[in-house]
Amino acid sequence: MSERARSRELYRRACELMPAGVNSPVRAFRSVGGSPIFYDRGAGCHVFDADGNRYVDYVCSWGPLILGHAHPAVVEAVCSTAASGLSFGAPCRQEVELAELVTSAVPHLEMVRFVSSGTEAVMSAIRLARGATGRDVVLKFDGCYHGHADHLLVSAGSGLATFGTPSSAGVPESFARHTAVLPLDDEEAFLTLMAERGHEIAAVIIEGVPANAGLLIQRRDFMRVLRDECTRRGCLLILDEVITGFRLGPNGAAGLYGVTPDLATYGKVIGGGMPVGAYGGSRALMEQLAPLGPVYQAGTLSGNPVAMAAGAAALKLLFADGGAAFSELERLGAGLDKGLTAAMQRCGVPWSVARVGSILWLVLQDGKPPCRYDAIQPQSADVYARLHGALLERGVSLAPSAYEVMFVSLAHDDTVIDETVAAFEAVVREIA
């Protein structure tokens, strides 16, 4: 493996121009040590850095590259659309086509509105929920990440049923007072809060499968309690499918759990690698958006034709042949899960893998995979940091954070997965 001299030089220059040399905090490698790798290109399941090193990529741009890097059909859609104009700030054919694909695949989406990021989608869905219900409070769950909007950068306090406290400087406490925070997987705490304050709550929001603080797979019964109680109390259930939407099948986590949300938010896969978000629900709810209704939301680049074309190209490939791509993703994810688990057993370490479809998380602690954020053992981050660096030296790229997940794409194959497992086992034997 090259010494990555060009990456180090780029990072030096970047630190003079951007905070910590990056445009998103986790990219700075602060939690895993070392300095960031600067990439030049990607092809299939591989990325190539500025020094020419090749890595098997399990970050996949944090999830959207479900087809792999630079898929020819997506690249062709982007290039042909861009040749006719990059942006109009006006309606275009491509946004209609993508809306048709999305709503035809998801039973509870009668209408959608496109935005430019998952954060924007969640922010807009919450505003719509508040406008539709006439209530102010939003309930979220500790360990779920819904973007960097002020009222969602809130962490749990000391009680089980508590109003949140800001988890970022610059977020006024007055904003946080409109956000309640509960632990995941605790029906009693949820029902208690709803009995006491359900009349104040506009929306309950939860990640389809919480995947930004480990992979915290929830029980179907818990999700159904959320659905039933929201209906009972007259508040909306928002399912944040920014990561899970169109990765866990056409109906995402809603299909996995058998629940129907009032509103759902999307990103990642529906952009085909371009910046796209969306939110949607019933016609009655969505028609409360301006200009039909009183809830305002707008965006100059919303429905950008290039991004819409990329998303449509990706979804068409996923839906082809009766959705065979989703079966293949499940097979590949299960294969990597099985291989990593067997390697852990051979090495005699008490670790495990949490997996849902093609999303996996290395659980570097004793016991079964946790389903609550407060059950994650902090010391596992130190082990992960050593794993991360050693795997990079063997040409395997994982997310630079112990709490982020691995994504498998359709470009990964059995040979690459076997090579990954072999590299993983070698590293574990070194550090265990």
Choosing from 49, 58, 266, 268, the catalytic residue is 268
**Could you give the residue ranges of the DSSP H alpha helices within 83-154?**
93-105, 118-133
Sheet-wide strand order for 263-266: 111-115, 277-281, 263-266, 236-240, 201-207, 137-141, 179-182, 162-163
In order, the DSSP letters of 3-44 are: --HHHHHHHHHHHTTSGGG-SSGGGG-TTT-S-PPPEEEEEB
Indicate if 150 belongs to the active site. Answer: no
Beta bridge partners of 155: 165
The CA distances from residue 423 to 40, 387, 405, in Å, are 24, 10, 18
Take residue 363 and report the two structure tokens written for it.
């659980």
From first CA to last CA, the distance across the chain in angstroms is: 23
Is residue 282 within 8 Å of 69, Cβ to Cβ?
A: no
2 half-sphere exposure, CB direction, 13 A CA radius: 14
Distance in angstroms (rounded) separating the CA atoms of residues 102 and 328: 21
Choosing from 145, 279, 373, 384, the catalytic residue is 145
Indicate if 142 belongs to the active site. Answer: no
What b/e string do you get for 112-140 counting C-beta neighbours within 10 Å, with b at 16 or more? Answer: bbbbbbbbbbbbbbbbbbbbbbebebbbb
Is residue 117 within 8 Å of 277, Cβ to Cβ?
A: yes
Choosing from 240, 279, 337, 384, the catalytic residue is 240
Q: Which helix (H) or strand (E) holds 240?
A: strand 236-240
Indicate if 145 belongs to the active site. Answer: yes
Closest CA to 345 of 431, 425, 427: 425
- Other residues' Cβ atoms within 10 Å of the Cβ of residue 368: 10
| DSSP classification of residue 302 | T
- Other residues' Cβ atoms within 10 Å of the Cβ of residue 393: 11
Q: Annotated active-site positions, please?
A: 145, 240, 268
